[in-house]
Amino acid sequence: MQEQIVALFDKVASYFAVPFASWNSFLAAIGGVPDALLNIGTISAWPYLLSSMAIAYLLYLLARRQPGASPRSFRAFAFPREVYRHRSAIVDYKYVLIDLTLQGVVYVPVIAGCTWLSYKLALSLSGGAAASAGASLNPLADALILTVITFIVIDFATFFSHYLMHRFPVLWYFHEVHHSAEVMTPVTVLRVHPVEKIFNSAVGAFLGGLGAAAYAAIAGHKVDPLTVIGIDIFVFYFRVFGIHLRHSHIWLSYGTFLSHILISPAQHQIHHSVDPRHYDKNFGYVLAIWDLLFRSLYVPRQRESLQFGLAGTDPKDYSSVAALYITPFRKAMRHLRAPRSAAAEPAAPAGEAAVDLSGHKLVAPDK
């Protein structure tokens, strides 16, 4: 264990040194905003934004055909001022601009180090267990099977880390940053605290590495998954089909049947709702089966009126960029310092909400 810790610190230190290796390396490290738009591996890359806009335009055309539809423009339909100029959206813009600039130098090395350690641990565990397993198939079959396995495992890891964020108060305080958005735009997907990014990366790397390394051991040789321009083929197509409508005001449901298989943008919007009926629902990223198994799936029968944000929380808690970074640490420390009985079911100070351990939202304090 000590050797693994030393290896982790060595790896993190090496990652920290990369941005300072040269002036070009430093500029690349702080160029988070251009990279977020141009790097196809990032969720905010321009092809996914354009494809989401194209789907939004189709929904706009359909909405125009509805009886009594207003003759407003596509700009007003897709980019309403009351959403994109809302104080919460403005905090999003500032936070993401600063966060993307800092992450390459400040905390991406930590994320990379934890990811590396998680994968190495998974590799050692799976390699020993599967070394004497069956024979390899042909290369295409190997790649296809690995792609499916990796996709399923990573999708479950994404679901499970999200589920844990809502179940444990200390983790929830950091995930609360994302849920504190009172309106949602495509920028909101990046409104994520660094601690949450580290946690999600570690869980995903461990479970994903376990699945990939296990199959590679079974196949008896290194296997590469099927990709589209370097992205997992399933993830790529899921992102292309309206990924950014998930964090928006535009309703897109997949219908009752398909919503039991895939998580629709409407279902993720419901996940952000302050309505008690929607608490702890739809944790999934791509597949709905995990929510079905954990009894957290919510499938809307028709369009629902939604309000986003945190119930019972003072909006000032997350009204600035500094607050988004600092408030989770303050709340987590308060929780950890509380007596054991209070920490099990934390009671908030006067005027502040308390975590309901059965849900991802907050319970308003008695006045």
Is pLDDT larger for residue 41 or for residue 346?
Answer: 41
For residue 161, give every residue at least 6 positions away whose Cβ sits within 8 Å of its Cβ, in sequence order, or none: 199, 200, 203, 204
Using an 8 Å Cβ cutoff, are 188 and 244 in contact?
no
Dig out the tokens for 365 from the structure: 């304090």
Selection from 232, 237, 186 nearest residue 37 by Cα? 186
Does the global pTM surpass 0.85?
A: no
- For the chain, give percent helix, strand, coil, nearest 5: 60, 5, 35
- Could you tell me which residues are beta bridge partners of residue 363? 354
- At 252, give phi and psi (nearest 5°): -140, 105
Q: How many CB atoms lie within 10 A of CB 289?
A: 18
Determine the pLDDT at residue 11.
58
The domain ranges of the chain are 5-251
User: pLDDT-derived band of residue 339, with 50, 70 and 90 as boundaries?
Assistant: confident
Determine the pLDDT at residue 135.
52
User: pLDDT-derived band of residue 363, with 50, 70 and 90 as boundaries?
Assistant: very low
